[in-house]
Amino acid sequence: MVKQVFVGMSGGVDSSLAAALLKERGYLITGVFMKNWTLDLPGYRCSWEDDFKDAKRVAVQLNIPLKTLDFEQQYREKVVDYMLDAYELGLTPNPDVMCNQEIKFKLFFEVAKTYGADLIATGHYAQTRQGRLFKGIDPNKDQSYFLYRVSSQTLKDTMFPLGGMHKSEVRAEARKRGLVTANKPDSQGICFVGEVGIKQFLQAELGPQQEGDIIDQHNRVIGRHDGALYFTIGQRHGLNVGGGLPYYVTYKDMSKNEVHVSSNLSDSKLWSRELILTDLWWINNQPESGKIYQVKCRYRAPGTNVRITPNKTCLKLILDEEIRAASPGQSAVIYDKEEVIGGGIIKDAR
């Protein structure tokens, strides 16, 4: 019996090729465009209509139906509000992780099943086998970091056709098939808005912020900021403090509305050897205490060997090497070599 696959199609080259490859393999394909965000911001036009047109053009090329699912309200509640709340607390959230957990691999998955889909697929660079998640083979595009909160049950019915490919291969294969998105640039902005930067988005959503002091490692006021929530640990650009030396954000005191910086890249406040994680998520089994795993606190960060001390509510990670700019609110994702075990949200880094 031919299996029916609902493919999330964003209007980009990755999801376009994913749909093409699966059709060539004999699956019955339905493309799905998820309408998550349609609002324009001051000076920035949301790209959703252009992306939708590109998805339709590819669907016509492939001779497959294209459904539109309107998830805008759920996206606002589950992803955008979560992100805004975290920034107001001085944290550094990852909306892509929450989007995958709540929208693409929960809501989309559930709706696809009600329409009779046997499987879902996306253009993510990752691999799944029997409910387990693995890195994509292209180290520059591997997106397993963003997928660590997807359930094992969902992964069993999910396909990632690009997980065994490099980006250059994807472009080449898309051109070979004449897909209209073959040369479309990858999006660079916030996952749901487009090219707008995070600061512009926060300003539009939260309004002007209170100015405050920028304080260096010698406790001297060296400048003013336009909102502490705009800054992240380790940030170098956008401080506008002058003086010749580069400064790096070491921490934020939200109660005093202060941004603390250092010109010393070796400043101990920038480096962490121990992480405390909360809001834990395991795809299958919890990690074994004492076993060596690897942890990544950023998408393209190299994995760092780590030993784990679990308890009921949080997880302590002792790293073999110090890592720079681990920030509360970020996701710390735990790997067993190529397999993603799970992870959690950084509560404290020291």
Cross-strand pairs, 248: 262
For tokens 């969902």, the residue is 154
CA 172 from centroid of its chain's CA atoms? 25
**Contact, 132 vs 339, CB < 8 A?**
yes
Is 297 catalytic? The answer is no
Q: Contact 245/262 with Cβ under 8 angstroms? A: no
Q: Is 267:250 a contact under the CB 8 Å cutoff?
A: yes
Neighbours of 282 (CB within 10 A): 18
The one catalytic residue among 46, 99, 297, 314? 99
Nearest to 34 by CA among 75, 1, 63: 75
* Distance in angstroms between the alpha carbons of the first and the last residue of the chain: 55
Which of 46, 191, 297, 314 does the annotation list as catalytic? 191
191 is catalytic: yes
Instruction: Measure CA 190 to chain center.
Output: 10
Burial of 301 (0-12, 13-18, 19+ CB in 10 A): middle
Active-site residue set? 99, 191
